[in-house]
């Protein structure tokens, strides 16, 4: 299976010429039958094998190719396809950023009238209903849904903190800088800091439509103080991604941290990990002034508005939404499902320990939001970069919280005018 290799210039040339040539290892689009579609998604042999069954099970052949390895390349190509009305893709696997980008720019079909939605909407978690209200449509049919949980090492922090202040106090008590142990390790690395920013803004009750007001400053000050006042978070946090934090947590170098729900499994799987199911704590977030709002995220399928194979694409999306197919995907990828009825499925629970950790999955995700306003705005990429830079400025100390807020407010207005 070939990977996408078409350059920006080459793509524009082919789009301008009105051709239907793609970089997929398939026949020319013009030679396809009505029951044959093009899909792009994860580079996963398991998923390719699964989708190869579509032809025998629903009579639609799926020509499946994979997203580029670099996320910047993914965003560039997917954006270009939307801007040019590219017809060579029928169904996309979409995360939050791609979902927001295509949904809010009018490049994806609203799937609210599909069987994939009408047959399962009552089983879908409330977080997804809230997202659909925010974006004004059903642009993704989810097959996974994850969370950014709050983790703690019970050997260092016996009980989960319930407030910001408690977290700081417990983090100070568990920090041993001389031995590389830090009480609080958030994901501050590039590409992850925007999550931390959104979590703190939500918990402070900030106005996410403007970033004005004392609540935003309180959230940014709280983050700044972790590193530069309280000494509970290392300066290296600005370069620590989820893999780094998970490895450090497994080595007993973190009292508390956040990572994605799959990080629970990753930490337990590290050879020689000092963290086990017995001493790994999972909890709702410590509450800020406005509450303990968490963040959820997910992957799903979207239908391109430019597809010339919409009937076949709809059949594929309906098929993927079936609980038995969702179960296969979740088991293969070891990720949580979007259907409440599958939270206790033995096969999924066996591979996704986050479902039964702490207070349980439903309690952990209750009230958690998707990454608004990033995913509910047409300027998805610009907002993603802005919020991520904001987190980097504050955690690194490159800007004071006051300067960072002023910068973000100005940047936000420029993005809205673009």
Give the domain CATH number at 77.
3.40.190.10
Q: Tell me what pLDDT residue 33 has.
A: 53
Q: Which has the closest alpha carbon to 201: 293, 298, 132, 128?
A: 293
How many CB atoms are located within 10 Å of the residue 88 CB? 24
My answer on whether 324 and 345 are in the same domain is yes
Answer yes or no: are the C-beta atoms of 334 and 268 closer than 8 Å: no
145 within a domain of the structure (yes/no): no
144 within a domain of the structure (yes/no): no
Answer yes or no: are the C-beta atoms of 104 and 377 closer than 8 Å: yes
My answer on whether 115 and 173 are in the same domain is no
Q: Tell me what pLDDT residue 199 has.
A: 98
My answer on whether 254 and 399 are in the same domain is yes
Rounded average pLDDT per 10-residue block, the chain, 418 residues: 33 33 39 77 88 95 91 90 96 94 97 98 98 97 97 98 98 98 94 96 97 98 98 97 96 97 93 95 98 97 97 97 96 94 96 94 97 96 96 98 98 93
Domain hosting residue 133, numbered range: 8-139+297-365
My answer on whether 273 and 390 are in the same domain is yes
1 within a domain of the structure (yes/no): no
Residue 77 and residue 37: Cα distance in Å, rounded?
A: 19
How many CB atoms are located within 10 Å of the residue 273 CB? 17
294: helix, strand or coil: coil
Using CA atoms, how far residue 42 sits from 6, 264, 329, 330, in Å, is 18, 21, 11, 13
147: helix, strand or coil: strand
- The secondary element (H helix, E strand) that includes residue 40 is strand 36-41
Answer yes or no: are the C-beta atoms of 66 and 43 closer than 8 Å: yes
* Domain end (from 346, 365, 384): 365
- The secondary element (H helix, E strand) that includes residue 74 is helix 71-84
Q: What distance, in Å, lies between the first and last C-alpha atoms of the chain?
A: 38
Q: Tell me what pLDDT residue 34 has.
A: 56
My answer on whether 14 and 109 are in the same domain is yes
List CB contacts of 143: < 8 A, sequence separation 6 or more. 299, 300, 301, 320, 321, 325, 326, 329, 330, 337, 338
92: helix, strand or coil: strand
Answer yes or no: are the C-beta atoms of 332 and 47 closer than 8 Å: yes
My answer on whether 117 and 246 are in the same domain is no
My answer on whether 404 and 274 are in the same domain is yes
Residue 69 and residue 72: Cα distance in Å, rounded?
A: 9
My answer on whether 350 and 327 are in the same domain is yes
187 secondary structure, DSSP code: -
Residue 398 and residue 411: Cα distance in Å, rounded?
A: 17
Residue 344 and residue 120: Cα distance in Å, rounded?
A: 17
Domain count across the chain: 2
My answer on whether 304 and 231 are in the same domain is no
* Domain end (from 326, 347, 365): 365
Answer yes or no: are the C-beta atoms of 263 and 151 closer than 8 Å: yes
- The secondary element (H helix, E strand) that includes residue 255 is strand 254-258
Residue 252 and residue 179: Cα distance in Å, rounded?
A: 10
């Amino acid at each position: 299976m070939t990977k996408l290799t078409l350059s920006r210039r080459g793509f524009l040339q082919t789009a301008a010429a009105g051709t239907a040539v793609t970089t997929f290892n398939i026949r020319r689009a013009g030679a396809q039958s009505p029951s044959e579609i093009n899909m792009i998604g994860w580079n996963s042999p398991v998923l390719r094998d699964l989708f190869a069954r579509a032809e025998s099970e629903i009579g639609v052949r799926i020509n499946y190719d994979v997203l580029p390895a670099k996320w910047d390349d993914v965003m560039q190509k997917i954006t270009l396809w939307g801007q040019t009305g590219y017809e060579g893709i029928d169904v996309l696997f979409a995360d939050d950023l791609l979902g927001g980008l295509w949904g809010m720019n009018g490049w994806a079909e609203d799937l609210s009238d599909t069987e994939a939605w009408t047959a399962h909407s009552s089983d879908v978690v409330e977080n997804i209903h809230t997202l659909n209200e925010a974006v004004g449509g059903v642009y993704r049919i989810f097959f996974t849904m994850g969370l950014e949980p709050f983790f703690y090492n019970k050997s260092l922090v016996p009980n989960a903190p319930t407030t910001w202040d408690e977290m700081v106090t417990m983090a100070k008590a568990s920090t041993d800088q001389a031995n590389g142990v830090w009480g609080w390790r958030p994901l501050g690395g590039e590409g992850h800091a925007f999550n931390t920013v959104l979590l703190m803004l939500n918990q402070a009750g900030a106005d996410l439509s403007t970033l004005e007001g004392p609540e935003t400053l309180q959230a940014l000050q709280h983050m700044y103080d972790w590193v530069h006042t309280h000494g509970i978070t290392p300066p290296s946090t600005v370069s620590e991604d989820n893999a780094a934090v998970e490895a450090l947590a497994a080595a007993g170098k973190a009292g508390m941290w956040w990572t994605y729900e799959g990080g629970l499994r990753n930490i337990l799987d590290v050879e020689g990990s000092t963290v086990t199911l017995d001493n790994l704590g999972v909890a709702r977030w410590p509450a800020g002034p406005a509450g303990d709002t968490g963040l959820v995220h997910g992957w799903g399928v979207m239908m391109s508005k430019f597809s010339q194979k919409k009937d076949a694409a709809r059949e594929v999306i309906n098929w993927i939404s079936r609980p038995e197919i969702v179960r296969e995907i979740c088991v293969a990828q070891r990720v949580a499902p979007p259907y409440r009825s599958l939270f206790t499925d033995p096969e999924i629970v066996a591979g996704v320990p986050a479902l039964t950790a702490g207070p349980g999955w439903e309690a952990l995700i209750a009230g958690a939001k998707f990454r608004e306003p990033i995913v509910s705005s047409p300027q998805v990429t610009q907002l993603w970069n802005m919020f991520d830079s904001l987190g980097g400025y504050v955690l690194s100390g490159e800007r004071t919280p006051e300067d960072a807020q002023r910068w973000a407010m100005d940047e936000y207005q420029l993005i809205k005018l673009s």
